[in-house]
Chains A and B, each alone.
Chain A
């Protein structure tokens, strides 16, 4: 399994290296192609993270401006999508800090203390309600919206974006053990919520 991953990484290397070179040059054509390629995934990630279409749209644009300005920081070794999500995540955190929220972790503390839930995702109906395709998907969306942000983001990165634990750790800049523990707790919390809303 490991050797397969290694071979895959080797095969991918030239592509990511070329990407890194293009980003260092601030090649607008390359970035335009990347915007088109990652439009859906990045917007979906931001939408789940912020819970607001307007915020997701603004963050989407900010993320690509950051990619343009800081493209030289992409090492060409790790996956581009991990780096992209990491930028997006930090912009969301910065934005929420600007709105007097200290961090996603503080949001977790608030949720655990039974204090006010996250302002941008938990109040009222899920902002994703209009996008739900099936009854189960509707339930999943409402559960996600009720989960603390730190659990929601790792669950989404693992099960929606299919990223590895290491990639998630690099995105959220946390140790692997923290990622695992958040995933386990997130799954438990999601299961409990699922049982609550069971029809």
Chain B
């Protein structure tokens, strides 16, 4: 049926094949048929020529890039690279600090437990009170580290926003 349609509408088929040739390429048989048809049909041949001319024109359109675009972008990228680098160094220091604090907490836990127990007994406090005190002491470094992380992230976001808003020096002309 398709073949019949193609026979009845050779110009339509030629148009379809011209598009297909541009988009995904043609099989040898189709390419031969198209070449034969274009050799015999002036209208389709003119259509192909106009499409090719349009594509050539599309490729030839030259656009002047704004003066200083690359330079200001490079400057901005370099500043951001520095910022990201220092943020990374800060994060590493923070992680190292947390690790040391956690290790120190684990190592000193038995001693602190005994101190809390002794203080609780001396002051005649119920066990729940000095046990809560011990857990607070245990949680304090983690809570402090969490707060520092939140503060650092909020600051980094602010800095990033400022970095984005800054678009580099804009020389005259654009």
Contacts and interface: CB of A to CB of B under 8 A. Distances in A.
A133 B57 CA distance: 9
Given A58-B167, A132-B61, A64 B84 contact: no
Interface in B153-171: 163-164, 167-168
B24 A131 contact: no
B167 A61 contact: yes
Interface in B51-98: 51, 53-55, 57-66, 69-70, 72-74, 76-78, 80-81, 84-85
A43 interface: yes
A68 B57 contact: no
B164 A65 contact: yes
A128 B62 CA distance: 10
A50 to B, nearest CB: 13
A101 B73 CA distance: 27
B22 interface: yes
Given A132-B61, A137-B60, A165-B24, A68 B69 contact: no
A90 interface: no
Interface in A113-136: 128, 131-134, 136
Contact of B78 (A28, A187, A190): A28
A141 interface: yes
Interface in A57-90: 57-58, 60-62, 64-65, 68-69
Given A36-B70, A187-B22, A140 B57 contact: yes
B46 to A, nearest CB: 12
Given A140-B57, A160-B58, A184-B23, A131 B63 contact: yes
Given A44-B63, A137-B60, A64 B73 contact: yes
Given A36-B70, A57-B66, A61-B167, A140 B61 contact: yes
B76 A61 contact: yes
A59 to B, nearest CB: 11
B19 interface: yes
Chain A: interface secondary structure?
helix
A141 B60 CA distance: 11
Nearest to A62: B164
Contact of A140 (B24, B54, B74): B54
B57 A31 contact: no
Contacts of B167: 57-58, 61
Interface of B: 19, 22-24, 50-51, 53-55, 57-66, 69-70, 72-74, 76-78, 80-81, 84-85, 163-164, 167-168, 174
26 contacts: A28-B77, A28-B78, A31-B74, A31-B77, A35-B70, A35-B73, A35-B77, A36-B74, A39-B65, A43-B63, A44-B63, A53-B66, A53-B174, A61-B76, A64-B76, A68-B80, A68-B81, A131-B62, A133-B62, A137-B61, A141-B61, A155-B58, A159-B22, A160-B59, A187-B19, A187-B23
Given A68-B81, A159-B58, A165-B23, 5 more contacts: A28-B78, A53-B174, A57-B167, A61-B76, A131-B61
